[in-house]
Amino acid sequence: MLLNYQVHGEGSPLLILHGLFGTLENWGTQIKRLSQNYQVIAADMRDHGRSPHSEEISYTLMAEDIRNLMDHLNLDSAHIIGHSMGGKAAMQFALTYPDRVNKLIIVDIAPVLYSPHHDDVFKGLFSVNLASLKSRSDADKQLTTFISDSRVRAFLLKNLYRAENGEFKWRMNLALLHNQYTRISAAPKGEAYAKPVLFIKGAKSDYLIPEYRDAVLSLFPKSDYRIIRDAGHWPHAEKPAEFTDAVLKYLQ
């Protein structure tokens, strides 16, 4: 599968991978700054954004998608930033193809099996009556029953688009993501990665907690941490300047 992607700027290649329910468009603020020093490649993960829909999702397949994209762009190696699901995909790629990774940055996720915690999101997305929608605000109202946080609703609604026939549709492959959610919750696997890794954590997030430190060190023994204060699971969106400063410092 060839992922949908955008290329911005010139310099050493830097690949950005978004999380579950996200798209490459979530990273616009970071792309603007990072592309001043790097060739930034932002990709839509499989079954997300404008990338193809499939019948199967797994971190092994996502790692192959990353390899295919790098081959397509004639990149022997690249820096990689991955957030949440994209972070697990980046970890799996690094474990599988360590020589093709320069510097690796993992954002607010650990290499562990997570218990389900997107039930309300799936219920909300499935509750939206796409055929009856007149506007994006109609969808927002329907989501409110299940998702009270307006920022989360706005994030999810970036997936909504109007097809040529005038009907609203989700860009993501919602049914597949729901049916194969256990694969998205799974942990990456492989031999320990010998090179340094930066883990960036939102201070208010519970995705990257001390209890997971042993799991991190077993696969990434040369890991370092940067905590973004007053940020949750989306530190790049909640504290963009501080987040990008941390990224640039590590890459330089």
Active-site residue, from 48, 79, 83, 233: 233
- 5 close to 52: Cβ distance less than 8 angstroms: no
User: For this structure, is 137 an active site residue?
Assistant: no
Active-site residue, from 35, 51, 84, 205: 84
User: For this structure, is 51 an active site residue?
Assistant: no
* Element housing 119 (H / E): helix 119-127
Q: Which residues are catalytic?
A: 84, 233
